[in-house]
Amino acid sequence: MIIVMKPGATQKQIEAVEKQLQELGFHTHPIYGEVKTVIGAIGDKRMVKANNIVHMDGVENIVPIMSPYKLVSRELINENTIIDIDGVSIGGNELAVMAGPCAVESEKQLMEVAIKVKEAGAKILRGGAYKPRTSPYSFQGLEEEGLKLLANVGKETGLKIVTEVVDTRDVELVSQYADILQIGARSMQNFRLLSECGKASKPVLLKRGLSATIEEWLMAAEYILSAGNPNVILCERGIRTFETATRNTLDINAIPVVKELSHLPIIVDPSHATGNWRWVEAVAKASIAAGADGLMIEVHPDPSSASSDGPQSLKPEKFSDLMMGLKPIAQAVNRVI
């Protein structure tokens, strides 16, 4: 529920309400607005016990949050969340583009792709060091060595780094090297991993699970926020449907739906959604037109030799063309790229 404080409520009154709520077993999240302060009170069906709160000094009223997710919901926070990573923002007017190889393979591969995606306008470099593959016999990633390469290339180019973490035991290690922790589609309902990333100091990119509903996805985000990390970026990457012509089916609907339900930024990964580099540009454009806050795109200097996801990876020149092609689309929806 949301406790709405009267305009001009004092800090002392706000603290007294928080204290009372905490004694009743709620977690409290005060949100200081320009005119009013509201306190998000998250607890499990303890609403009844909170009835006396409405009579406390400085309280205007109490509004229940109807959705099952609370901290993620626009009912609690109406203003869009903008995540700032040393001047690179996600969720603001400027579109955030993350690009790079599916997997980190070598320093040469990573540096080459980083320089090219930066030239084309990307601000964030992606690359997997831990690769959750469908087959245990496929390349599993360079692990810590890959993290080190990412951090070095990030430092040299000024690009921010996003990379996947697949195990609770690695969250701290990955946080030392990455600017954004990626939770992959296959891990979206790994609740221990979500909570662990919720305790991390880095923003989290949460991909939608292969068969997850929007509500399940937002509930997964709620795990991260409720563990203390407010900086979550949602990533639609296609869901599994009866269609086999593409690797997955991009749920374009998810963009306006999530925008209406949640204040969190949402980006789209057209590479995993289509599974084929030839369709990436069209789907990237459609995503921006539909209101996405950015894109995650796989780019490889030589897709035919890529150790994973070569067929969906763009060559750097194609990525550069795509970035140019996005400009008029971005302009049409009042965004900059």
Residue 300 within binding range of ligand PEP, rule CB under 6 A: no
Complex with ligand PEP: residue 39 or 183, whichever CB lies closer: 183
Give percent helix, percent strand, percent coil of the chain, each to the nearest 5.
40, 20, 40
Query: CB under 5 to 8 A by kind: which of Mn ion, ligand PEP, none does 315 bind?
Result: none
> Interacting stretch for ligand PEP, rule CB under 6 A, among 24-32, 179-187, 253-261, 324-332?
179-187
Q: Please, which residue, 1 or 232, has the CB nearer to ligand PEP? A: 232
272 interacts with ligand PEP by CB under 6 A: yes
Sign of CA dihedral 73, 175, 98, 91: positive
Q: Are strands 266-268 and 204-207 parallel, antiparallel or unpaired?
A: unpaired
Binding partner of residue 222 among Mn ion, ligand PEP, none, CB under 5 to 8 Å per kind? none
95 binds ligand PEP (CB under 6 A): no
Do residues 248 and 239 lie in contact, with contact meaning Cβ atoms separated by under 8 Å?
Answer: yes
Interface residues toward Mn ion, by CB under 5 A: 102, 309
Contact of residue 207 among Mn ion, ligand PEP, none (CB under 5-8 Å per partner type): ligand PEP
Helix intervals (H) in the chain = 11-23, 107-120, 144-157, 171-177, 191-198, 214-226, 254-261, 270-274, 277-289, 316-332
Is residue 184 part of the contact set for ligand PEP (CB under 6 A)? yes
Among 170, 129, 171, 130, which residue's Cα sits nearest to residue 153?
Answer: 129
Among 102, 114, 180, 297, binds ligand PEP (CB under 6 A): 102
CB 85 within 8 A of CB 36: no
237 lies in the binding site for ligand PEP (CB under 6 A): yes
The interface region with ligand PEP, picked from 65-73, 146-154, 178-186, 215-223 by CB under 6 A, is 178-186
| Phi, psi (degrees; rounded to nearest 5) at 83 | -100, 125
Dihedral sign (CA 124, 126, 130, 131): positive
Minimum gap (Å) between residue 269 Cβ and ligand PEP: 6
Binding residues for ligand PEP, rule: CB under 6 A, are 102, 128, 184-186, 207, 237, 269, 272
